[in-house]
Amino acid sequence: MPRYALWNNKGGVGKSFLTFALACEYALKNPDEDVLVLDLCPQANLTEMLFGDHEDAPSHIDHFYTQKPRRSIGGYFEARLTSPFLPLSDISPFITRPADFNENIPENLYLVPGDNLLELLAEAIRQASQMPLPMDAWSKVMRWLLDLIKSFSEASEASDVTAFVDCNPSFSVYTQIALCSAEFLIVPFTADDSSRRGIENVFALLYGVADNELKGYARLSFSKRATEEKIDLPRLHTFVNNRVTMYKSQPSSAFEAKSQPIREIVGQAHAASKKIFVGHSSVTQLFAQMPDYHSVAVVASSEGCPLSQLQSGHHTIDGKVVQVNQTAIDKYTKAVAKLVQRL
């Protein structure tokens, strides 16, 4: 039951689209498995991508929120709040299959839809985790999402279940729960200083690893309590250099220059604490690249179409015609396929 979370403590790095692309291509390449996608962002961007460009898609998604129970991650957390320390006997109301609505999506892909209710529930969830009794209240709440994934896996008739969790950039309580559900962490980033700071915060917030002014605060780390309460944190699997500007089939010199400080930070953390990483033989193997083919990403996410099934030519997006050429599709698809092979 492999479980992957995608997170960076900075927004706008292409995390949701990368989750969409990885989950769809993984499901296509592994039809004997079930793929469970969990949208832990209040904006529900990943949910919208999976339902695609249909006129009634927004009303269909909104319909999830009006049902009893609410058919979303918000509804699942609401249900857990009524009895915080006992797993639910039935998780089926909170899971949907996008292929029932969007024929582009593989039939073996399932979704727990995102929900803006997450932000409103955050304080109630935090209070539940801090209750004096039972003694393990915090760890039980941190395992809420892992409980859901395990229940889905037990009910699945597939050969295996692989989960992808799209995490909100902020380190809120529901992001912590999301990260505690994963075995592996994939960190998308773009080549800029704000991504560098976001990755510094990934190390400090989640693992208590810092080598600058964050060091004093990092000692008060989430990881310290997770260790004390026997919560397994995800190991760092891949840092995805997203939207790479290419020149003659190689990253441009400007892009490489901006990426280098991030590579150095990862290298320093790897040298200081190898146990938080997967067992790659070198820091270089921790990195993957995704090219900057913006039109491909816009069309694929708007139409809810996996990259390997996307057709070249003209596409109408929000009333405007967008041209996508096959070369761009092939390069993006190849990069995603290469990343899928690493999983």
The helix/strand/coil state of 243 is: strand
Q: Residue 329: what residue type? A: I
Q: Are strands 320-324 and 313-317 parallel, antiparallel or unpaired?
A: antiparallel
Q: Which residues, at least 6 apart from 132, have a Cβ–Cβ distance to it below 8 Å?
A: none
> Distance (Å, rounded) from C-alpha 179 to C-alpha 4?
9
Q: How far is residue 223's CA from residue 205's CA, in Å, rounded to a whole number?
A: 8
Which two structure tokens, joined as six digits, stand for 173?
């309580």
Look at residues 44, 118, 38, 111 and name the one whose alpha carbon lies nearest to residue 81. 118
pLDDT score at 1: 92
How confident is the model at residue 193, as a pLDDT? 84
Q: What is the DSSP code (8-state) at residue 336?
A: H
**What strands, in cross-sheet order, belong to the sheet with 235-244?**
109-112, 34-40, 161-167, 3-6, 184-189, 235-244, 287-291
What's the pLDDT at 217? 56
List, in order, residues 6 or more apart from 62 with CB less than 8 Å away: none
For residue 12, which of 258, 244, 189 has the smallest C-alpha distance?
Answer: 189
Neighbours of 36 (CB within 10 A): 25
Q: Are 40 and 58 in contact (CB under 8 A)?
A: no
φ and ψ at residue 241, rounded to 5 degrees: -75, 95
CB atoms within 10 A of CB 131: 14
Summarised one tens digit per residue, pLDDT across range 77-126 is: 999 999 999 999 999 999 999 999 899 999 999 999 999 999 999 999 99
Cα 121 from chain centre: 20
Question: What is the reported pLDDT for 252?
Answer: 55
Q: What is the pLDDT along the chain (343 residues), one digit of tens a residue?
A: 999 999 999 998 889 999 999 999 999 999 999 999 999 999 999 999 999 866 667 777 888 999 999 999 999 999 999 999 999 999 999 999 999 989 999 999 999 999 999 999 999 999 999 999 999 999 999 999 999 999 999 999 999 999 999 999 999 999 999 999 999 999 999 888 888 899 999 998 999 887 765 555 545 578 888 988 999 999 999 999 986 555 445 555 556 677 888 999 999 999 888 999 998 778 888 999 888 777 898 899 889 999 999 999 998 887 888 889 898 899 999 999 999 999 9
Domain chopping of the chain, boundaries: 3-342
Cα 16 from Cα 24, distance rounded (Å): 12
Structure tokens at 249: 């089939």
Query: Which phi and psi (to 5°) does residue 30 adopt?
Result: -130, 65
For the chain, the farthest-separated pair of C-alpha atoms sits apart, in whole angstroms, at: 61
Question: How far is the C-alpha of 163 from the C-alpha of 343, rounded, in Å?
Answer: 11
Nearest to 51 by CA among 63, 33, 42: 63
d(CA 163, CA 165) in angstroms, rounded, equals 7
Q: Name the fold adopted by 3-342.
A: Rossmann fold (3.40.50)
